[in-house]
C-alpha cells in the first residue's frame, strides 16, 4: 500500500519508539570511510537529538558532511541531515535544553559539563528511512511525502515460521 506521511502511522511510531532516552547507532563518513558508534539520543519534534563534545571525531565529521545514518541496530534505519546547533547554554537552545534535562534526567547534569565551551547539541533530521512495527514495514521519504507499507515476515518483532 502506498500513502502519505500524514495518512501513515510513521510519526506516531517514531515518537512512541524513540522519544525517550535511547541508545542508537550513528554512522558518519570522512573521505568516503564510514565510522559507526553508539550515541544516547531521543526523538523530538521531527529530529534525533544528541549531546556531545565538538572535539569528538564524529561531531567533526558531521561538521564537514551533514549526511548521517541513524539506526537501532535492527532493521530500523534513518537517513538524516545532522547539524551542530551550539552550546546548551546559548539562548537559542533554552527550550531544547529543558527537553534534554527531562529526557536524560537521571544523568544529564552528572555527565555533561556545561562549563565546557566544547559541549554541543546535535540535531539529526531524518529525510527518509525504514521502520517496522506489528508485522508492517514502512519505507518512507519525508521529502516526497511518500510511504510504502508492506507486510513483513523477517523482523525481530515477528515470530518466524520455519520454511523447512
pLDDT in tens, 19-64: 999 999 999 999 989 999 999 999 999 999 999 999 999 999 999 9
Query: Distances from the Cα of 16 to the Cαs of 10, 56, 73, 137, 164, in angstroms?
Result: 10, 29, 17, 16, 36
Burial letters 9-40, b for 16+ CB under 10 A, else e: bbeebbeeebeeeeebebbbbeeeeeeeeebb
Alpha helices in 3-148 (DSSP H): 10-18, 57-64, 94-103, 108-111
Supply the pTM of this predicted model. Answer: 0.90
pLDDT digits (tens, 9 = 90+) for 74-114: 889 999 999 999 999 999 999 999 999 999 999 999 999 99
Are 48 and 70 in contact by the 8 Å Cβ rule? The answer is yes
Q: Which of 61, 47, 58, 51 is nearest to 15 (CA)?
A: 47
* 22 Cβ neighbours under 8 A, 6+ residues apart: 40, 41, 42, 43, 72
Nearest 10 degrees: Cα torsion 69, 72, 77, 80 = -30
pLDDT digits (tens, 9 = 90+) for 111-144: 999 999 999 999 999 999 999 888 899 999 999 9
What is the separation of C-alpha 26 from the centre of its chain, rounded to a whole number of angstroms?
8
Q: How confident is the model at residue 160 (pLDDT cuts 50, 70, 90)?
A: very low
Other Cβ atoms within 10 Å of 101 Cβ, number = 13
Q: Domains for the chain: give ranges and CATH numbers.
A: 2-151 (2.30.110.10)
Predicted local distance difference test score (pLDDT) of residue 131: 93
Give the separation between CA 49 and CA 60, rounded to whole angstroms.
16
Amino acid at each position: 500500500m502506498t500513502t502519505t506521511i500524514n495518512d501513515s502511522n510513521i510519526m506516531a511510531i517514531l515518537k512512541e519508539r524513540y522519544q525517550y532516552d535511547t541508545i542508537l547507532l550513528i554512522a558518519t563518513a570522512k573521505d568516503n570511510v564510514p565510522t559507526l558508534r553508539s550515541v544516547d539520543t531521543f526523538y523530538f519534534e521531527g529530529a534525533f537529538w544528541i549531546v556531545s563534545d565538538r572535539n569528538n571525531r564524529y561531531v567533526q565529521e558531521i561538521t564537514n558532511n551533514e549526511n548521517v545514518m541513524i539506526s537501532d541496530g535492527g532493521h530500523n534505519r534513518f537517513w538524516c541531515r545532522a547539524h551542530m546547533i551550539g552550546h546548551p547554554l546559548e539562548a537559542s537552545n533554552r527550550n531544547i535544553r529543558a527537553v534534554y534535562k527531562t529526557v536524560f534526567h537521571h544523568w544529564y547534569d552528572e555527565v555533561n559539563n556545561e562549563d565546557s565551551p566544547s559541549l554541543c547539541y546535535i540535531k539529526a533530521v531524518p529525510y527518509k528511512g525504514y521502520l517496522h512495527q506489528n508485522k508492517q514495514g514502512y519505507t518512507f521519504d519525508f521529502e516526497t511525502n511518500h510511504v510504502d507499507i508492506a507486510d513483513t515476515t523477517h523482523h525481530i518483532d515477528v515470530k518466524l515460521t520455519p520454511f523447512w
